[in-house]
Amino acid sequence: MNMDTSHNLAASASPTLELDEDGMLPEYDFDYSKAKPNPYAGKITSCSKSVTLAPDVAAVFTDSEAVNAALRTLIDIARASVSPLPASAEPPA
């Protein structure tokens, strides 16, 4: 891979850095023979959404089932106290 290092921040920040032939620093030499498949990739669907929970929330809701149950309860409370949510916001049964 031929890279122009004049725009490479690592190279311009310190002229003593040695980049390899791919324009990467030596410590980024990945050993792909040790790579493992992502065990979660098969669980991702087109309707899946990924969110990052704040640490204090993650301490309480330790898995997706707990998060979904709490959100469904919140949806039920909202439906009981305000006008109905649109049909498109219906959670799966």
Q: CA-CA distance, 14 to 17, in Å (whole number)?
A: 6
Number of compact structural domains in the chain: 2
Asked whether residue 40 is assigned to any structural domain, the reply reads: no
DSSP string, 9-50: HHHHH-TTPPP-TTS--GGG---GGG----TTGGG--TT---
Location of structure tokens 């899946």: 48
84 and 56 in one domain?
yes
Do both 30 and 57 map to the same domain? Answer: no
pLDDT at 21: 78
pTM to 2 decimal places: 0.41
Range of the domain at 13: 1-35
User: Is 20 domain-assigned?
Assistant: yes
Q: Can you tell me the distance from the alpha carbon of 76 to that of 17, in angstroms, rounded to the nearest whole number?
A: 58
Give me the pLDDT at residue 11, please.
47
Question: For 17, how many CA atoms within 13 A lie in the half-sphere containing its CB?
Answer: 17
Token couple for 54: 């704040």
Express each pLDDT in 24-75 by its tens digit.
787 887 788 888 888 888 877 777 788 899 999 999 998 989 999 999 999 9
The answer to whether residue 80 is domain-embedded is yes
